[in-house]
Structure 1
Amino acid sequence: MPFARANGIEIYWERAGAGPPLLFISGTGGDLRVKPNVFDGPLPRSFDMLAYDQRGLGRSGKPDTAYSMADYADDAAALMGEIGWDEALVIGVSFGGMVAQELVLRHPARVKRLVLACTSPGGAGGASFPFHEIEHLKGEARARHLIPISDVRRTEAWAREHPDAYAQLVEMGARDPFADEPGHAMGAHRQLEARRFHDAWDRLPQIACPVMIAAGRYDGIARPETQEKMAARIPGAVLRWFEGGHLFMIQDRTAVPAMAEFLLAA
C-alpha cells in the first residue's frame, strides 16, 4: 500500500488516471476505503489524480495532538513534494475546500488552478454547519439530523412523501464501518476541532490563481449566501451553481464535468 512520510506523519495515498496532475482533498471523515469513492468517478479519465486520507482519518497517521488547518495544508504540500509534484490542479470538497484555501494561501506556488466545492471561508464570510456541536449524535440519530440540512428540500413533508428514499438516506448516513478502529474517534474529533476554527476570510484576497467556487443551490451546510461572499472576496473567482445540496457532485451529473472543464482551461 502506498504511504508517504510527509509533515511528520504517515499519509496513505492513492493515484490513478492520466493527464495533468490533480490533487483531490476530501471532506469531513473522508476514508479511501469507503466505496465508491472519487476514483470511481470521471476525474481519472482526464487527470493524473492523487487523493489521500487526511491526518486522523482512514489509514493515515493519527497523532493524539491538536490539529490545525495549517497542519492539514502542510500535509498536502508535503505529500505533493514526496511524490515529486511541484504544482497541481486542486479540488477541495467541503472540509477539503477549507484545507485547499489554506494550501493555496500557505503554498501558493503549489496550486495552479483551484476548485472550492461546497465549502466555506469562516470568519466574517460565514462558517459551514458546526459539526462539532452534534458530535454526540451517532448512527441513525446523526443521519436524521443532517438529512434536511444537507439538502434543504428534504423537509419532514418530503420524508413522509418519499419514505423509501428517506430510509435509504438514513441507512447511508448512519453507516460507519470503521467506527471501532483504534484512534478513529480521536482522529475524527481532532478534525472537527480544527474545522471549528477555520478562518481564511481576511486572507482570501491574496489568492492569485484561477478559482472556481462550485455550490449546491440547496446546501444547508455550506450555505448559498456564504458561497456568494466567498466568490466576491477572491479576485476573479467564478461561481457556479448546481442542482443539489451538499452532495451536489453526486446529485447533478453536470457538476464534475464542469469542474474538469474549468481546471483544464489553462
Structure 2
Amino acid sequence: MKKVVYLLCGLLCDSVVWEAQAHALGADYDVRVISFEGLDSMQAMADKVLVDAPARFALAGHSMGGRVALEVYRRAPQRIERLALLDTGYEPAAPGEAEKRAVLVDQAQKEGIASIAASWGLPMLAPANRDDPALVQAVVDMVGRMSAPIYAGKTRALLGRPDATDVLKRIACPTMIICGEEDGWSPPERHEQMAALVPGAQLRLIDGAGHMVMMEAPGAVLQALQEWLALPTTTYEET
C-alpha cells in the first residue's frame, strides 16, 4: 500500500498549484491535494484534512495551507509522519493586517474576483517570472476559478489563525521548510526563524522563485519534496 501524502493549497489556490509535484509523486505515493473552498476557519480546514486521513500520513502545506498544516499538527501530532511547510508563516494576525486584507476582499466583492488576479497574483511571483506569459496566465486562471465569497471566507480563516510558535517548538517528526528566495510576501527570513524553532528542521531556499514556488520552480520543489519523503523517521518516532 502506498504511503499517503497530503498537499494543502493556499489562499486563492487550487490543485493546479501542486500539479507538477502531485503528478510526479503519484507514481510512488497516494497523493491527495486539498483546497479549502467554502471554509472560513483554520479549525474547519484542519477537520477537512483529518476526517478521511489514515492513521499516519505525510503532510505538506503551502502558504495558508502551511498554517492549516500546523493546525493539523497541533490537533493530531501522533498522526503526522513528516511535515513540510512552504512559503508560509506561524505568527497570529499582525496589527493592521485585517484592514489591508479587507481592501482586496472589498474589491473582489464589488468588481469580481478577476479584478484582483493581477493586483494579488503578480506580486506573488519573483520579478523575473512576471514576464512569463504562461505562468502569469496560469496564476490568473487559478484565481479566476475562485469567487469573492470564497476569498472572504479564506481571509476570515487567516485572520483568525492562532499563534503557532509553540507548535513549531513541539514538532517531533522529520520537517522540511521550503521558501522561494524572492518571496516578498513571506520572505526567507521568516522561514529561517521557523527552521530555528523546529528541532532538526531542514531549510531549502529555492533560487529564482517567489511565493508561488511550486509553479515557479517545479523541478526544484519536487527534488526537495523527494528528499523530504526520504528522510528517516526512526529517531523521531522513538522520542
Q: CA deviation at 1:263?
A: 1.4
Structure 2 distance, partners of 1:189, 1:124, is 15
* C-alpha distance after superposition, 1:141-176 (max 9, x if no partner): 52332355313535xxx97xx5xx3x6555444435
Give the secondary-structure state (helix, strand or coil) at the position aligned to 1:119: coil
- Which of 194, 212, 217 is residue 181 of structure 2 equivalent to? 217
Q: Quick check: 2:135–2:216 contact (8 Å CA) kept in 1?
A: no
Label 1:146 to 1:111 Cα distance change in 2 as closer, same or farther (>3 A): same
Label 1:108 to 1:24 Cα distance change in 2 as closer, same or farther (>3 A): same
CA RMSD of aligned residues (A): 3.1
Give the secondary-structure state (helix, strand or coil) at the position aligned to 2:10: coil
Give the secondary-structure state (helix, strand or coil) at the position aligned to 2:204: strand
Considering only CA atoms, is the larger Rg found in Structure 1 or Structure 2? 1
AA aligned to 2:75 is R
Give the secondary-structure state (helix, strand or coil) at the position aligned to 2:32: strand
Bigger drift between 254-263 and 111-120 goes to: 254-263
Corresponding residue for 2:123? 149
Matched, 1:104 2:73: yes
Label 1:94 to 1:51 Cα distance change in 2 as closer, same or farther (>3 A): same
- Which of 84, 104, 119 is residue 134 of structure 1 equivalent to? 104
Q: CA deviation at 1:36?
A: 8.2
Q: Quick check: 2:179–2:191 contact (8 Å CA) kept in 1?
A: yes
Corresponding residue for 1:201? 165
Structure 1 distance, partners of 2:139, 2:51, is 32
Structure 1 distance, partners of 2:185, 2:170, is 25
Q: Name the structure where helix makes up a greater proportion of residues.
A: 2
TM-score, length basis structure 1: 0.71
Q: Quick check: 2:57–2:79 contact (8 Å CA) kept in 1?
A: yes
The count of aligned residue pairs is 222
| Greater RCO (CA < 8 Å, at least 6 residues apart) | 2
Label 1:190 to 1:87 Cα distance change in 2 as closer, same or farther (>3 A): same
What's the % identity of the aligned pairs?
27
Corresponding residue for 1:265? 231
